[in-house]
Structure 1
């Protein structure tokens, strides 16, 4: 089998290095308390998010020896959980040590078949000018993986698509055969390609499953395809689409033709730090999504530096979310119910009014908490409802609900981090008389949900430990607060 053991050997070496570094950084105050975070080194896209052996497995893009992106080659990290909140780090799964992936083991998926675990991923082929090809690794125990001799098992697009952008396989089983969708581009327009196979190794091109004339950007990355309530949904992470970086399309799939026709187009998360989500269907029929919580330097608000990199790590995942589809074809993204098991020390405030000076919110731990805030819009005269979090006398993060303009703004420009940026999106309350915001605060992030979980904003935030003040205020009038429910979030 040639150099098949090189992967296991280098993965073990990388794992030992990462866990040694983890011991040095694990108590840093900027380490997240209840989000998954890379133990050390760099982390980006989730890969192979799956249920294997009855447990949730998360593989992810990983660079063990460095903590910021650059010329270093990509590995696959690995973690496992029984509840989507408590994650156990497992050994590194893939290392870029073979000819088929000597330029890096890039994004892909995982599946279980005949008591074996298969990883399908994009390798940059060191023999062929780092051309992208689809590779496979297999494991008997789901932890230690061996590359297959015939990788790359798909080295050509088999169509007119650009062979330089041909990546991120996602595989599912349908009608007795394996289906694989790949992100691609043609003439600088993003598209997704569909292939089919009977044995996971011999693939035939079926069709350009989804194509565009610019509305999906220039390149389609990290496609995911699944079904909810009789409708098919395609996730893509586009390049060159300005402020959009995680898009969903809802529509119908013509299986014989291999063609997807969409009628609804939406953004998965409007924050500055959410990319490449993957979806699984669990044993209870829930569609669960997880995405990378950080940003690439080609995004408009990122300057290419990463605050915690100098401390030895960078990257993690946003909270897992359960998806539901409404009658208009829109997706709702609600944090998974398992998070409720980590609520402690509940507090409640009812029937308050706030003006420009604001009122303070005290939870048991303002730096690691969850809040559900209900506003009475009928009794509110303010033009802007403002939520201030992670603040002290110098730093602060502002969430502005502009009722006059119908938009919501996340403003982290008042922090000491280099990412002094703002992000806005449309705000449409599901009720004319009431509005709810659901907020999760961790050591280095704020996740915001509103519009019945149709609008999400995920953002990393870096402030001192003492920046833990929370306030609500009305700008240009008074805001009527119906109720504030809060909990400290604590893991054992």
Structure 2
């Protein structure tokens, strides 16, 4: 265990925070590190590596007590006169010297550790830092929370005593996932309209200003964007993610994470409703951050449920607020107007010992005489689920860790847990960030003495589907997910929007105990007219989408005369290899007869196969062509097509 001088710590990002560098500067730094160019003019390098001090002065000056008092009060005490004249990287040691007398200083960066050490030694800055952590063989740097956990454990630090200083969205997410406070010199008020940078303190009044932005969006300019989906819920000029569905009396309500002004800025809960799952109506924003509340830095994912004994406020929401991660509560009489409880129900500092900083995304259900809440967490660098119980929805007691995953494929933590029964089988869903990518993971099994016993498991969707959450309609379990983008941040900013919500899907238990998945309701019942299609060993164009970009394709076949077939939709391939039992290199069970359903909606493609496989793709192409070819003994398919039309109403 390391010994520290101070109670509080500041952890710095490196690039564009401690030093302000760009791609050209990166190349210069690499040259220095490799010593390939010993005669490099360091003076030219310093012109590009601008000091942190000028940005830091902005932090000190404008992070007033009105904004995030708890997080930044100590930093404000630094004497501005000591730093206001600092303008270059040569001055950085002065401010590091000032800060090191009050705080333990660390660096956590995605840059490789040896290069960080070399640079800091060359500049003689390394003496100010307790430890420098970058990407390396023993521990991953940012954005993996593992690096922050390492500091917490080694130096016995409380997350709330640490402040992470960064420069971009990834740093904010990293800090939130790690449970510490976050400080940035400047944020973009709206990444999608590319407005000028503004000081963080000026964001203080944004919740009031944007309360009604959601209802009054002008969508005209997005009608010519050929990537904007038509029948998938989406919101041009905004960022959306993480659906929270709720079915009640014939209406499908979709709540979701919503940022009216762009990427990861003051997350809200948007709200739309539909009777037929095709035509959606926008409702007012359900929840917004409160300036002095436990959700002041964003209203994050949770769950909505019905409390029939409460006649006045039967609808309830539990959700996560951040900085630090806390569980919050709201109630409503009509699903439109929500009244918040002004204190957090469960604090991150009260989480059970031995679990990492991930402490979020409550899922609530009733069992016997108690309300049960499961939370996504982390233990020993693996995903876990915590269980809390309550009789009144306000006072919660920790019960147990119902599950700790030992499967390395699922990454270092669980997000968006969802625990429910289908028939006699318990199902646990969790969303995982790992080296394999982001995905929703399913497990079926049983509950024994408040422990989930996993018997079967798998990935729910092999593509861009994440943060799946369910609701119950009668005895049918329906799930929606966040369809992530597959293009760069720059391309998303240029487009002016990011994220869509998936089609509803029904979950059920297959005879072998695995979790089945298929399109739900009208999307599955929408009729298509089948025709016979003889396949050739070269691509044949299907002239079916000249006048539409929103459609459904249905393909049926028999394995006795087909070895393999391939479909090209825009610039994406769907390869079905019957001999190897694979779709796009993912194992599936090709029975004697098979049924493949494909939904195409501009930039979104959703694939369903035999009630047991789904894959979500993104494609950003103006090409409307659909091509198909196949191999086998006179390969023949039945091919069906229909258009899908819908719209979002204000």
TM exceeds 0.5? yes
Match for residue 459 of structure 1?
617
Residue 364 of structure 1 and its aligned partner are, at CA, apart by 7.5
TM-score scaled by length of structure 1 = 0.83
- The answer as to 2:402 corresponding to 1:209 is yes
| Kept after mapping to 1: 8 A contact 2:243/2:257 | yes
For 2:604 and 2:436, how far apart are their aligned partners in 1?
23
Higher relative contact order (CA 8 A, sep 6+): 1
Work out which of the residue numbers 437, 442, 445 in structure 1 matches 2:596.
437
| Kept after mapping to 2: 8 A contact 1:79/1:90 | yes
| Kept after mapping to 2: 8 A contact 1:21/1:312 | no
Superposed CA offset, 1:58-107 (max 9, x none): 111111111x34xx221111111112222211111222224301221111
Match for residue 136 of structure 1?
329
| Kept after mapping to 2: 8 A contact 1:389/1:469 | yes
Superposed CA offset, 1:19-77 (max 9, x none): 33434435533221111112531001112x112454211111111111x34xx221111
Work out which of the residue numbers 552, 574, 582 in structure 2 matches 1:370.
552
Superposed CA offset, 1:315-364 (max 9, x none): 11111011111121111111112225665xx5432152322243525367
| Kept after mapping to 2: 8 A contact 1:370/1:439 | yes
Match for residue 180 of structure 2?
none
Match for residue 170 of structure 1?
363
- The answer as to 2:542 corresponding to 1:386 is no
Residue 153 of structure 1 and its aligned partner are, at CA, apart by 4.2
- The answer as to 2:278 corresponding to 1:94 is no
Are the structure 2 counterparts of residues 226 and 303 from structure 1 closer, same or farther at C-alpha, using a change threshold of 3 Å?
Answer: same
| Kept after mapping to 1: 8 A contact 2:348/2:357 | no
For 2:511 and 2:525, how far apart are their aligned partners in 1?
30
- The answer as to 2:288 corresponding to 1:61 is no
Work out which of the residue numbers 419, 425, 437 in structure 2 matches 1:231.
425
Match for residue 50 of structure 2?
none
Superposed CA offset, 1:249-306 (max 9, x none): 100012xx321101001110011x10011111113x11111111115xxxxxx67527
Work out which of the residue numbers 466, 471, 481 in structure 2 matches 1:291.
481
Match for residue 322 of structure 1?
506
For 1:76 and 1:235, how far apart are their aligned partners in 2?
21
Superposed CA offset, 1:189-246 (max 9, x none): 1100001000111111111011122444210000001111200000001122524621
Residue 441 of structure 1 and its aligned partner are, at CA, apart by 0.6
| Kept after mapping to 1: 8 A contact 2:444/2:457 | yes
| Kept after mapping to 1: 8 A contact 2:356/2:379 | no
For 2:569 and 2:397, how far apart are their aligned partners in 1?
52
For 1:348 and 1:365, how far apart are their aligned partners in 2?
19
- SS of residue paired to 2:456: strand
- Mapping of residues 39-54 of structure 1, within 5 Å: 39-47=236-244, 49-52=245-248, 54=250
Are the structure 2 counterparts of residues 61 and 408 from structure 1 closer, same or farther at C-alpha, using a change threshold of 3 Å?
Answer: same
Residue 122 of structure 1 and its aligned partner are, at CA, apart by 0.6
Match for residue 78 of structure 2?
none
Superposed CA offset, 1:372-419 (max 9, x none): 112332223x5x3111112xxxxx22111123433221xxxxxxxxxx
Match for residue 471 of structure 1?
627
Q: Judging by fraction of residues, say which structure has more strand.
A: 1
Match for residue 160 of structure 1?
353
| Kept after mapping to 2: 8 A contact 1:131/1:163 | no
- Mapping of residues 308-319 of structure 1, within 5 Å: 308-319=492-503
For this pair of structures, how many residues does the alignment match?
438
- CA-based RMSD of the aligned residues comes to 2.5
| Kept after mapping to 1: 8 A contact 2:551/2:641 | yes
Work out which of the residue numbers 458, 469, 472 in structure 2 matches 1:266.
458
- The answer as to 2:471 corresponding to 1:280 is yes
- Mapping of residues 235-254 of structure 1, within 5 Å: 235-240=429-434, 242-243=436-437, 245-254=439-448
For 1:404 and 1:490, how far apart are their aligned partners in 2?
37
- SS of residue paired to 2:272: strand
Larger Rg: 2
| Kept after mapping to 1: 8 A contact 2:541/2:625 | no
- The answer as to 2:319 corresponding to 1:121 is yes
- SS of residue paired to 2:363: strand
Q: Report which stretch shifted further, 151-160 or 223-232.
A: 151-160
For 2:337 and 2:490, how far apart are their aligned partners in 1?
31
Are the structure 2 counterparts of residues 403 and 194 from structure 1 closer, same or farther at C-alpha, using a change threshold of 3 Å?
Answer: same
Match for residue 522 of structure 2?
338
Are the structure 2 counterparts of residues 379 and 54 from structure 1 closer, same or farther at C-alpha, using a change threshold of 3 Å?
Answer: closer
- SS of residue paired to 1:149: coil
For 1:443 and 1:470, how far apart are their aligned partners in 2?
13
TM-score scaled by length of structure 2 = 0.63
For 2:332 and 2:641, how far apart are their aligned partners in 1?
44
For 2:443 and 2:214, how far apart are their aligned partners in 1?
41
Structure 1: tracts of 5 or more residues without a match: 1-6, 125-129, 296-301, 391-395, 410-423
- SS of residue paired to 2:366: strand
